[in-house]
Amino acid sequence: MSFEMFVQHLFNALTLGSLYGLVAIGYTMVYGILRLINFAHGDIFMLGAYFVFFGVTLTKIPWGIAIILAVAASAVCGIVIDRIAYRPLRDAPRISALISAIGVSFFIENLSLVIFTGLPKPVYQPEWLVEIISFGNVRILPLALIVPAIAFALVGGLLWVVYRTKPGLAMRSISKDIETTRLMGVSVDKIIALTFGLGSALAAASGIMWALRYPQIHPFMGVFPGFKAFIAAVLGGIGSIQGAMVGGMLLGLIEIMAVAFFPALSGYRDAFAFILLIVILLMKPTGLMGEKLEEKV
């Protein structure tokens, strides 16, 4: 493989990894607080992309505004889902909430199928985003630079919220001990809603950027990225935001590089993530950067 090809693959991996990482953060935050795998998270990713699509084609609002509104709308969706489908089950056995999440995920996917139809929709791509830039023999899309930049900016912003604000402190406190936090007067439900909101916003941003990179959207576009992002979260250490980003990058790298070096394996591309998951769960379930979330016996 030529050096130029390698660099191009690297940028691809960076982009893909950033997108996985952004979604992974939402999974890791919710799991850290509620010990719940939010199956519906990948579908927020999809909704973000569709909201932009409809914002632009139906209402003719400027593309940039549409993005902001879409992200906000997705955040609201995440909060609503928690309120309706997860909050009533806070005291139920954990698996109940998980089953509810699975139900919500299927519901959103199929409702989208009914409303948007399964026909993939083309996404508006501003020219400047898809005009190829060249560095010598290396040719990349501007997206390959912008996506990681935005991703890291968003993560930076999130980390600022989590580590430098009171609500962020409350979030961290809840993930350590929810009962004590409640006893200290924190409105736990509001903080949980905030967590869902932030995570969903990031997932929506990721979905929107994904749609710019792979400009065909369809109702099930969030399924595999969702699974893989969750695996990335586990890889990086469930409960750790930085870990989720690291895990996402690593997963993106593995996926792109494995197929780049062994093209015969391209059919198995989707299986890599799952194989990786099994391996991590067996060897180091706490992931690369995570803490033990032990059950008290």
Partner 1 sequence: MKTKETPRYLVPSLVAVALLALFIWWANSHLDNYKIQVLNLIAINSILALSLNLIYGFTGMFSLGHAGFMAIGAYVSSLLILPQVQKDMIYIIQPLAWPFSVLQAPFFVAVLAGGLAAALLGLLIAIPVLRLGGDYLGIATLGFAEIIRVVFTNLTPVTNGALGLKGIPDYANLWWNFGWCLLTLFFMIRLVNSNFGNVLKAIRDDEVAARAMGINTFKYRVVSFSIGAFFAGIGGALMASLVTTIDPKMFGFLLTFNVLMIVVAGGLGSLTGSILGSAVITVLLEWLRFVENPVDIGSFHLEGIPGMRMVIFSLLLILIILFRREGLMGMRELSWDAILRRFSRGGETR
What residues line the site for partner 1 (CB under 8 A)?
A: 35-37, 85, 88-89, 92, 94-96, 98-100, 102-107, 110-111, 113-114, 118, 227, 230-231, 234, 267-268, 270-271, 274-275, 277-278, 281-282, 285, 295, 297
Nearer to partner 1, 8 or 100 (CB): 100
For residue 279, the one-letter residue type is: V
| Neighbouring-strand partners of residue 216 | 122
- Between CA 72 and CA 185 the distance in angstroms is 28
Nearer to partner 1, 85 or 257 (CB): 85
The DSSP letter of residue 259 is: H
Nearer to partner 1, 58 or 264 (CB): 264
- Between CA 192 and CA 251 the distance in angstroms is 28
User: What is the closest distance, in whole angstroms, from the C-beta atom of residue 144 to partner 1 in the complex?
Assistant: 27
User: What is the closest distance, in whole angstroms, from the C-beta atom of residue 288 to partner 1 in the complex?
Assistant: 16
Helices 142-164 and 241-261, packing angle to 10 deg: 160
End-to-end Cα separation, the chain, in angstroms: 53
User: What is the closest distance, in whole angstroms, from the C-beta atom of residue 95 to partner 1 in the complex?
Assistant: 5
Nearer to partner 1, 11 or 31 (CB): 31
Q: Which of 221, 235, 220 is nearest to 28 (CA)?
A: 235
Nearer to partner 1, 153 or 278 (CB): 278
Strands 133-135, 138-140: pairing is antiparallel
User: What is the closest distance, in whole angstroms, from the C-beta atom of residue 271 to partner 1 in the complex?
Assistant: 4
Q: Are 30 and 238 in contact (CB under 8 A)?
A: no
Nearer to partner 1, 224 or 261 (CB): 224
User: What is the closest distance, in whole angstroms, from the C-beta atom of residue 31 to partner 1 in the complex?
Assistant: 8
State the DSSP string of 124-185. Answer: ---HHHHSPEEETTEEE-HHHHHHHHHHHHHHHHHHHHHHHSHHHHHHHHHHH-HHHHHHTT
Q: Are 269 and 217 in contact (CB under 8 A)?
A: no
- Between CA 143 and CA 125 the distance in angstroms is 11
User: What is the closest distance, in whole angstroms, from the C-beta atom of residue 256 to partner 1 in the complex?
Assistant: 17
User: What is the closest distance, in whole angstroms, from the C-beta atom of residue 285 to partner 1 in the complex?
Assistant: 7
Q: What is the 3-state secondary structure (H, E, C) of 2-37?
A: CHHHHHHHHHHHHHHHHHHHHHHHHHHHHHHHHCCC
User: What is the closest distance, in whole angstroms, from the C-beta atom of residue 28 to partner 1 in the complex?
Assistant: 14
Nearer to partner 1, 131 or 295 (CB): 295
Nearer to partner 1, 63 or 274 (CB): 274
